[in-house]
Amino acid sequence: MMLTRRHFMTTAGCSIAVAGSGANRGWAASEITLGQMQIQTLSDGHLSLPPDFIFGPMPKDLLPPVLKANGIASGPLTPECNVTLVRDGQNVVLFDAGSGPAFQDTAGLLVDALDAVGLVPDDVTHVVFTHCHPDHLWGVLDDFDDPLFANAEHMMGQTEWDYWFDPETVNTIQTERATMAVGARRRLEVLEDQMTLFGAGQEILPGVAAVASPGHTPGHMSFELRQGSNSVLVVGDAIGNHHVGFARPQWHSGSDQDQVQAADTRQMLLDRLASEQMQLIGFHLPGGGIGRAEQTDDGYRFIPDPV
């Protein structure tokens, strides 16, 4: 049986002043019990994105009703950043590493979130990456450019590694993403000796299988966490938001590197999630990112798990 709960932690160990605000911040966690696995999502903060970063390629006449139906107002988008933590009594596994301090000042809070659940970076045994965008990878280094999770084995899909480690990627990627390529390669160079590569379909850890979900990046991976007949799918950015990503999965998103492939991947994942009624965890989905996909007459909708 899987149970879900969400709670906010504002203990002395996790409340700090937000720069410039004088306010205290608590780190939120959502939690699932899956067999022997304790699965939590920890907040790395949130991003601030211009709407066209996602909506740019979408049909301008059809987009407003979808946004209105999902309560999306004008102005910057501020998606959550949910890092998945799995503890099984032996391993302490992070799925992605957050953005660290070098990307946006509204994110990079993972170390504080770990502290709020009684962990420090040295406790982490594995860091598993969905992909190499800044908000998922850049948090792997500390202030001295050393690996933050010094005791951890780092794990990434072979295709994703090959793409971002290739020195030519910076010359072939879209110009506006060139800084992503530079930042990714710099971090991967530091992690090279600690990195284990894998392919789609492999069981990379007990109860954890890699699921190919390309398009957002060339080698994006999702991960199925399974205990007996129950499973949860960590989708990373393969389903990148709770509004158009569900309601109109075939619409191309400006956030995806291969927009056609990413749309096909979204449709495939949503078909499976809805038909199997499998729980999912999305990096940028609201309320900690845990919920289900429900099919509608013309698409899907995200149903957050009850708290």
pTM of the model: 0.91
pLDDT higher than threshold 80 for residue 306: no
Q: Roughly how many angstroms between the first and final C-alpha of the chain, as a whole number?
A: 16
Q: Residue 118 CA to chain centroid, in angstroms?
A: 22
Q: What is the arithmetic mean of pLDDT over 213-234? A: 97
pLDDT higher than threshold 60 for residue 5: no
Q: How confident is the model at residue 170 (pLDDT cuts 50, 70, 90)?
A: very high
pLDDT higher than threshold 50 for residue 11: no
Per-residue pLDDT, 278: 97
pLDDT digits (tens, 9 = 90+) for 267-294: 999 999 999 999 999 999 999 999 999 9
| % pLDDT > 70, the chain | 90
Q: What is the arithmetic mean of pLDDT over 11-18? A: 31
CA distance 281 to 80: 12
Q: Residue 64 CA to chain centroid, in angstroms?
A: 26
pLDDT higher than threshold 90 for residue 39: yes
Mean pLDDT of the chain: 91
pLDDT higher than threshold 90 for residue 307: no
Q: What is the arithmetic mean of pLDDT over 28-42? A: 86
Q: What is the arithmetic mean of pLDDT over 43-57? A: 96
Per-residue pLDDT, 305: 87
pLDDT higher than threshold 90 for residue 102: no
CA distance 269 to 232: 12
Q: What is the arithmetic mean of pLDDT over 191-220? A: 97
CATH superfamily, region 3-304: Ribonuclease Z/Hydroxyacylglutathione hydrolase-like (3.60.15.10)
Per-residue pLDDT, 30: 73
Residue with tokens 């993403």: 177
Contact 218, 258 (CB under 8 A): yes
Lowest mean pLDDT among 30-39, 134-143, 226-235: 30-39
pLDDT higher than threshold 60 for residue 16: no
Per-residue pLDDT, 13: 34
**DSSP code per residue over 236-299:** ETSS--SSHHHH-TTS--TT-SSHHHHHHHHHHHHHHHHHHT-EEEETT-STTSEEEEEE-SSS
pLDDT digits (tens, 9 = 90+) for 181-202: 999 999 999 999 999 999 999 9
Per-residue pLDDT, 158: 98
**DSSP code per residue over the chain:** --EEEEEEE--TTT-EEPTTT--EE-EEEEEEEETTEEEEEEEEEE--B-THHHHTTS-TTTHHHHHHHTT--SS-B--EEEEEEEE-SS-EEEES---GGGS-TTB--HHHHHHHTT--GGG--EEE-S--SHHHHGGGB-TTSSBSSTTPEEEEEHHHHHHHHSTTHHHHS-GGGHHHHHHHHHHHHHHGGGEEEE-TT-EEETTEEEEE--SSSTT-EEEEEEETTEEEEEEETSS--SSHHHH-TTS--TT-SSHHHHHHHHHHHHHHHHHHT-EEEETT-STTSEEEEEE-SSSEEEEEPP-
pLDDT higher than threshold 90 for residue 264: yes
